[in-house]
Structure 1
């Protein structure tokens, strides 16, 4: 379906490079390919407009094309200023999708691109971090009557949505894709774990083996980052505020310290909490010369750069995506990708095979909310388990893996409270 909307992108001539990227990921996303074929037959979004705000790189672009195949008129923007890839944007425009995104826009321009995406008057949305939802509930409330619902990608976004639901502000249903099994077990753990270290290693070109890596937060993303750091030969320290997760990290073989203690021993730091001020000036004051700070949480607030700048006598770019801050005592602290998502701002994000499952959930969840928005109401809902299982089974089939099925006798046994011997 060709769009009639005008796009705002950096360079249309980059389209051939972007197309190659999209073709590559499409070849490695078999689950989404299957959904695209089904959508093309069923046209579940025929006559509807869909607005998408995600990290705009090749895998996201292919999701947009899958939604388009379902009959939708699609408009897309980026969810982070440094993760947008201009060549991918150009390729999507050639495919008839309205794109409002550029790499590294100013804060004002970034905001205007989000608003321009909403000005397409969508019926459905896919959000990452809650920016579209927040704008719809604040400066663009005039568009609320037309919104049927949507799906949210991230932990941060779901926290914002649940806060809105709790105080009665949420005006349409949202599906919490991040909370689905096929999202957090694979995307958050294995996807984040690999892509974070892809970004750090590509950017720094330094050895990880033998170094002390501090992972702030031991949720599913933190688990993945810690596991991959261990695989690279690092000594891994975990900091936590949740006692249960701290015990889990300890039993997984990691050293657990307070951030005050960890600041003194760390050489690489990776924040993965979704909260602000995880690393502050007080922590930085304790760090070793040459400490490298990076963030894998959605917003650039986990490392307090304002306090770091105030402590510094100079700042300079020493490599692409590396800023060197020199403190008054001569120590140097390095920050990767301006404290933004290091795996996307300084890398290509999660592997295609991982995002195949996540974006399959997004596509199916969007269809689910469109079919059921009236009965769901103004709340945050889980991805139905049947959709989770559908994605998992499709993934297994794409790998040529078969699994067992319970017999009727086994099902009866599990369902019965009597006769267990």
Structure 2
């Protein structure tokens, strides 16, 4: 708690990362290129600015963009001593690890598995997690089992649907039907102690949906 964290990117991954950091008591700052995502971040209560404006003051930097060269050598050289740098978005070029390793006179000290201290010639250092690769896989044990259960159930139900109703589908990519998506969620509610409210026939008719769902159009984004 009390640290200043910068989350680069406010897509689905960045949103979750920012929320998690805020839940741990961090002051979270977001960087974005997309005006819609930037507006979402601002409306969610985050300061939105450029990395250049905050690079010297933040304690933690997380990339979640899917792009390259988001955190470059010139950024890392300006970071405060022992700043933590990690990536949860893409490959190891979101953070310019090749450029970091090529800095003349820089030293790499392995603190523990997947945690390295990079010491610049001026004596200040930064902590890089998982060599700039996905830290949720390198520094942790991957995705939580409950999340994986949802993902795998989605995949299995999709395979069953394709096998059982082959004649409904051409050879192309389809979005999982909303009815099956809701089925996956419904199967996992008991584990969380969730009790759903049930529509009355009159309410369902008013909304124009079946009592048992699906409740949203196929294009709906939760």
Tell me the TM-score range normalised by the shorter chain: 0.7 to 0.9
Residue 334 (structure 1) aligned with residue 136 (structure 2): no
Aligned to 1:386: 179
How far 1:237 sits from its partner (Å)? 0.8
User: Where do residues 35-50 of structure 1 align in structure 2 (5 Å cutoff)?
Assistant: none
Question: What per-residue deviation string (whole Å, max 9, x for no partner) do you get for residues 95-140 of structure 1?
Answer: xxxxxxxxxxxxxxxxxxxxxxxxxxxxxxxxxxxxxxxxxxxxxx
**Structure 1 unaligned regions, length at least 5:** 1-208, 417-421
Q: Offset of 1:346 from its aligned partner?
A: 1.3
Is it true that 1:254 corresponds to 2:46 in the alignment?
yes
| Alignment deviations for residues 288-335 of structure 1 (CA, whole Å, 9 cap, x no partner) | 121211111242221110111122522221222112222232221221
- In structure 2, stretches of 5+ residues that fail to align are 210-222
1:320 to 1:246, Cα distance in 2 relative to 1, 3 A: same
Q: 1:254 to 1:413 in 2, by over 3 A?
A: same
Alignment-derived partner of residue 10 in structure 2: 218
Superposed structure 1 runs of 4+ greater than 4 Å apart? 370-375
RMSD: 2.1
Query: Residues 78-227 of structure 1 correspond to what in structure 2 (within 5 A)?
Result: 209-227=1-19
- Alignment TM-score, normalising by the size of structure 1: 0.46
* 1:346 is aligned to 2:125: no
- The number of residues matched between the two structures is 208
Aligned CA distance change for structure 1 residues 391 and 383 (closer, same or farther; 3 Å):
same
Cα distance, 1:229–1:399 mapped onto 2, change above 3 Å: closer
2: distance between equivalents of 1:217 and 1:385?
28
CA drift of 1:278 comes to 1.4
Aligned to 1:362: 155
Structure 1 pair 369–281 and aligned structure 2 pair: CA distance change class (3 A):
farther
Give the equivalent residue in structure 1 for 2:32.
Answer: 240
- Offset of residue 371 of structure 1: 4.5
Structure showing the higher helix proportion among its residues: 1
8 Å CA contact 2:3, 2:26 repeated in 1 = yes
Distance across 2 between alignment mates of 1:316 and 1:371: 55
1:43-58 aligned at under 5 Å gives the runs none
Q: Deviations over 1:149-187 (max 9, x none)?
A: xxxxxxxxxxxxxxxxxxxxxxxxxxxxxxxxxxxxxxx
- Residues 264-413 of structure 1 correspond to what in structure 2 (within 5 A)? 264-313=56-105, 314-371=107-164, 376-413=169-206
